């Protein structure tokens, strides 16, 4: 009997190990909670291609857009934590939307297993090429002379560019007029046409327009200068402290992902991000590879969550 129990236990252990080793035995879904073509989609597809090659199985990107990314995030939260569903998302659904959207169906700090922050990019303060403003000091002077009148375009209420403008106003004691658009593309179009005065888009969204001389870059929001705009000062260098802001994309899984799968995916994702061809693709448009550990990501998410809550509460910002 003892031999039978031992054999049975060994058989169960062997079977369990076999199941773990078998992952992935079917296609894996990477949910991107935004439309195809944007930065988050680009990161998701780059990871999907490399992870698929690494593990010999398809990693398929599924764009589930809507409600500022929270529809896709909710879908992943409800998925089984078996290594067959992941989320590649921007910071919005993880650290901003929870402070703006009532009745959300997930807790971003408790319902996901963080794997890694993939990339980050600073925002950049830009004005139309023919603007009379040529520096951050000019912008602040204009806002103080005309409180609440200088227009700042954004890709929508509660977006990274909106909240960066709000933080800028809070740190400089100025006020501007927020003009939200339905996405970054129409906001940039009106900025190029001079219908709005300024914006804080992600650097990768406007780098080509800056290099073509269609927009003037006055400062970046990173804690150091951007490699793609080395001549442009940081806001801190321009005299504005406390507006070190990065937009970022990250990889998470439903809570409860088996530790061995999490370790495999983390290792493979970091290797993919640092693949020379992938890294070149990202860095050419201003995305900086991060590839940190799950623990580092969790601490960073908590800090970002707290920071944007304060900005939103101070600015009395709503999603409407």
Q: What pLDDT does 19 receive?
A: 45
pLDDT tens, residue by residue, 239-295? 999 999 999 999 999 999 999 999 999 999 999 999 999 999 999 999 999 999 999
pTM given for the model: 0.88
Distance between CA 50 and CA 121 in Å, rounded? 22
Q: What are phi and psi of 231, to 5 degrees?
A: -85, -10
- Show the CA angle centred on residue 50, arms to residues 113 and 23, nearest 5°: 55
Buried b (16+ CB within 10 A) or exposed e, 282-295: bbebbbbbbbbebe
**Out of 20-34, 113-127, 169-183, 247-261, which region has the weakest mean confidence (pLDDT)?**
20-34
Distance between CA 196 and CA 181 in Å, rounded? 11
Domains of the chain with CATH codes? 26-120+248-315 (3.40.190.150), 124-220 (3.40.190.10)
pLDDT tens, residue by residue, 183-240? 888 999 999 999 999 999 999 999 999 999 999 999 999 999 999 999 999 999 999 9
Q: First-to-last CA distance in the chain?
A: 69
In this model, does residue 12 exceed pLDDT 70?
Answer: no
In this model, does residue 110 exceed pLDDT 90?
Answer: yes
Q: What pLDDT does 15 receive?
A: 44
Q: Please name the helix (run of DSSP H) or strand (run of DSSP E) that holds residue 90, with its range, or none.
A: strand 85-90
pLDDT tens, residue by residue, 298-314? 999 999 999 999 999 99
Distance between CA 117 and CA 289 in Å, rounded? 8
Q: What pLDDT does 10 receive?
A: 52
Residue 108 binned pLDDT confidence (cut-offs 50, 70, 90): very high
pLDDT tens, residue by residue, 72-94? 999 999 999 999 999 999 999 99
Q: What pLDDT does 17 receive?
A: 46
Average pLDDT value over all residues in the chain: 93
């Amino acid at each position: 009997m003892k031999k039978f129990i031992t054999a049975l236990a060994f058989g169960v252990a062997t079977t369990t190990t076999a199941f773990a080793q078998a992952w992935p035995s079917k296609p894996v879904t990477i949910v991107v909670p935004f439309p195809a073509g944007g930065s988050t989609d680009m990161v998701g597809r780059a990871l999907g291609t490399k992870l698929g090659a690494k593990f010999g199985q398809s990693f398929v990107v599924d764009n589930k857009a809507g409600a500022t990314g929270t529809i896709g995030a909710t879908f992943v939260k409800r998925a089984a934590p078996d290594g067959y569903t992941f989320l590649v998302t921007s910071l919005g659904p993880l650290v901003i939307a929870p402070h703006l959207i009532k009745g959300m169906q997930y807790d971003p700090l408790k319902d996901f297993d963080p794997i890694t922050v993939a990339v980050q990019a600073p925002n950049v303060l830009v004005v139309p090429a023919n603007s009379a403003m040529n520096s951050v000091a000019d912008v602040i002077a204009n806002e103080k002379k005309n409180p609440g009148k200088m227009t700042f375009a954004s890709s929508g209420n509660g977006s990274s560019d909106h909240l960066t403008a709000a933080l800028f106003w809070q740190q400089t004691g100025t006020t501007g007029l927020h003009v939200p658009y339905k996405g970054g593309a129409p906001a940039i179009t009106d900025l190029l046409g001079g219908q709005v005065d300024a914006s804080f888009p992600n650097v990768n969204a406007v780098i080509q327009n800056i290099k073509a001389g269609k927009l003037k870059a006055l400062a970046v929001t990173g804690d150091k200068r951007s490699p793609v705009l080395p001549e442009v000062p940081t806001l801190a260098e321009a005299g504005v402290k406390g507006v070190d802001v990065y937009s970022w994309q990250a990889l998470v899984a439903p809570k409860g992902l088996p530790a061995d799968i999490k370790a495999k995916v983390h290792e493979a994702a970091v290797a993919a991000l640092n693949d020379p061809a992938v890294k070149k693709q990202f860095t050419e448009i201003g995305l900086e590879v991060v590839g940190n550990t799950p623990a580092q990501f969790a601490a960073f998410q908590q800090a970002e969550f707290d920071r944007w809550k304060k900005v939103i509460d101070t600015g009395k910002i709503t999603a409407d």
